[in-house]
Amino acid sequence: MHWSTRPGETFVAAAVAVVLGAGVLLVDTPGRVLLGAATLLLVAVVVRDLVLRPRLLADEAQVVVATLGGRTVIPRERLRARVRTGRRLGMRSTTLELEDTGDDAVLLVLGRRDLGTDPEQVGAQLLGHRPV
Q: What is the number of other CB atoms lying within 10 angstroms of the CB of residue 99? A: 16
pLDDT attached to residue 88 = 85
Q: What is the number of other CB atoms lying within 10 angstroms of the CB of residue 26? A: 9
pLDDT attached to residue 110 = 95
Contact between residue 112 and residue 9 where contact means Cβ atoms under 8 Å apart: no
Q: Which helix (H) or strand (E) holds 123?
A: helix 119-126
pLDDT attached to residue 72 = 92
Give the chain's length: 132
Contact between residue 1 and residue 120 where contact means Cβ atoms under 8 Å apart: no
Q: Give the integer Cα–Cα distance in Å for 132 and 5.
A: 22
Burial of 114 (0-12, 13-18, 19+ CB in 10 A): buried
pLDDT attached to residue 102 = 83
Tell me the CA end-to-end span of the chain in Å, nearest whole number. 17
pLDDT attached to residue 104 = 81
Q: Give the integer Cα–Cα distance in Å for 77 and 58.
A: 13
What pTM does this model have? 0.81
**pLDDT, one tens digit for every residue, the chain (132 residues):** 899 999 999 999 999 999 999 999 999 999 999 999 999 999 999 999 999 999 999 988 899 999 999 999 999 889 999 999 999 899 999 999 999 988 888 999 999 999 999 999 999 888 875 544
pLDDT attached to residue 132 = 44
pLDDT attached to residue 129 = 52
